[in-house]
Amino acid sequence: MRDVAVIGIGMTKFGELWERSYRDLFVEAAKGAMKDSGVDNLDSMYIGCMSGGLFVGQEHIGSLLADYLGVTPIPAIRVESACASGGAAFRTAWIEVASGLSDIVLAGGVEKMTDVDGGLATYALATAADAEYEGFHGATFPGLYAMLAHAHMHKYGTTSEMMAHVAVKNHDNGSLNPNAQFPIKLTVEGVLNSTMVADPLHILDCSPVTDGAAAVILAPLELAKSMGLPIIKVLSVGMATDTLALHSRKEITHLASVATATKRALDLAGMTIGDMDFAEVHDCFTIAEICVLEAMGVYEPGQAGPASMAGETARDGKFPVNPSGGLKSKGHPVGATGIAQIVEIVKQLRGTAENGRQLAKANRAIAQNMGGSGGSSVVTILEKG
């Protein structure tokens, strides 16, 4: 296996981008990553996309996007693992460069979610759950995470106020991110008084429906050094699966795929979670950030809620989480999210995060991207070279 580096990043603004098409979004992000790295050609590309079929009625997007990026005839493949599609695309691209098969590989992600109405978007997202035994019975994604939240509250005493603090913190960070969909500050009262979507989750506990794309360029470390680019090393990527249905898990509050993917990534890098300076994690719902931090071993089970309320995960806290604003504030174009997490970490490690959200200590970081209610998870560790 060769050492691999991220040599270029690009992303679109995230939001309800009525004037932008699926293909335009991807091309803007991919062009940005190619320009950032200075490469004119790609050896191949992998694109994370959860559901081109349901959101825009388009499959076979590898070829479509290779065409519009002007890079045919390179191999181009869509990678799908629901909301972890971006992370899975990154992992696949990393394996291809590490193997020695290709040198310059683009890992991208894109989702155009606002071409369908709210009911259809909810339905499309629900297909990331078990369609026959969760979706058929009326489960929605907020509903599944709401059931996870009730179980967590019952077992550990986690409160709606603790969850609201996660939203407030992530919006505080996102208010400094020029690409964020909702760069607005929230208050705990505002979250708690917002419309209930699926008890106990309010609308401000939920990440939004978002259009957007992100892309990064991977290359062998030695080649990156010879190109004179700022070096961001990919130390490791870990992935794991779990039962698709939430109800099939032995312990509903434990995201086993997150725990296993984190362990695989840390073991491969020869590190512990304590070696990380900060994290970008999959806060599709406020309760998700709490459960993820516990599964990753940042906190003991039941401790992430109180820690979030105490400000430990803020930009100036002990362990900053989601300096980008997370999925909550930055937005969650599902297939693009895993790549957008890498984009933020690269910015932080380069010391180029905008508007004063640059962290004081940013040498090494971990990204955690999750599919469905935890049916899959991809964890990536990056380090400043």
Partner 1 sequence: MAQTLTGRMWREQPQRYRMMASKDTDTGKVYFPPRLVAPGNLDAKFEEVQLSGTAKVVTYTIIRVAPTPYGDLAPYALAVVETEEGCRLTCQLTDLDVDDVKIGMAVRFEFRKLYDDNDASIIYYGYKAVQA
Q: How far is the CB of 163 from partner 1 (least distance, A)?
A: 14
Question: Any catalytic annotation for residue 165?
Answer: no
Chain-centre distance of CA 192, in angstroms?
A: 25
Distance CA 262, CA 266 (A): 6
> For the purposes of burial, counting CB atoms within 10 Å of the CB of 264, is it exposed (0-12), middle (13-18) or buried (19 or more)?
middle
Among residues 14, 339, 40, the alpha carbon closest in space to that of 178 is found at: 14
Q: How far is the CB of 130 from partner 1 (least distance, A)?
A: 8
Residue 250 vs 361, nearer CB to partner 1: 250
The active-site residue out of 83, 206, 284, 291 is 83
Exposed, middle or buried, 332 (CB in 10 Å: 0-12/13-18/19+)? buried
Nearer to partner 1, 147 or 309 (CB): 147
Sign of CA pseudo-dihedral 149, 155, 156, 157: positive
Its sign, for the CA torsion 337, 339, 345, 351, is negative
Q: CA 229 → CA 10, 352, 364, distances in Å? A: 15, 14, 18
For residue 198, the SS3 value is strand
Query: Whole-number minimum distance, CB 150 to partner 1, in Å?
Result: 5
Residue 206 DSSP symbol? B
Residue 78 pairs in a beta bridge with 47
Residues composing the chain: 385
Task: For the chain, give the longest Cα–Cα distance.
Answer: 56
Q: Which residue lies nearer to partner 1 by CB, 48 or 143?
A: 143
Residues that bind partner 1 (CB under 8 A): 54, 118-120, 122-124, 126, 130, 132-140, 142-143, 146-148, 150-151, 154, 195-201, 245-248, 252
Which candidate in 171, 202, 254, 332 is catalytic?
A: 332
332 is catalytic: yes
Distance between CA atoms of 135 and 153, rounded to whole angstroms? Answer: 24
Torsions phi, psi for 377 (to 5 deg): -150, 140
User: Which amino acid would we find at residue 318?
Assistant: K
Residue placing its CB nearer to partner 1 in the complex, 106 or 198: 198
Q: What are the Cα distances from residue 192, in Å, to 160, 187, 205, 305, 310?
A: 7, 9, 9, 15, 18
Using CA atoms in the order 95, 97, 101, 106, what is the torsion angle rounded to 10 degrees? Answer: 100
Give me the least distance between CB of 115 and partner 1, in Å please.
Answer: 13
Q: Could you tell me the smallest distance in angstroms from the CB atom of residue 119 to partner 1?
A: 4
Q: Provide the 8-state DSSP code for 238.
A: E
Q: Toward partner 1, which CB reaches closer, 40 or 132? A: 132
Q: Which is nearer to partner 1, 57 or 100 (CB)?
A: 57
User: Among residues 198 and 295, whose Cβ is nearest to partner 1?
Assistant: 198
Q: Which residues contact 142 (CB under 8 A, 6 or more apart)?
A: 197, 198, 201, 206, 285
Least Cβ distance, residue 126 to partner 1 (angstroms): 5
**Minimum CB distance to partner 1, residue 206 (Å):** 9
Which residues are the active-site residues?
83, 332
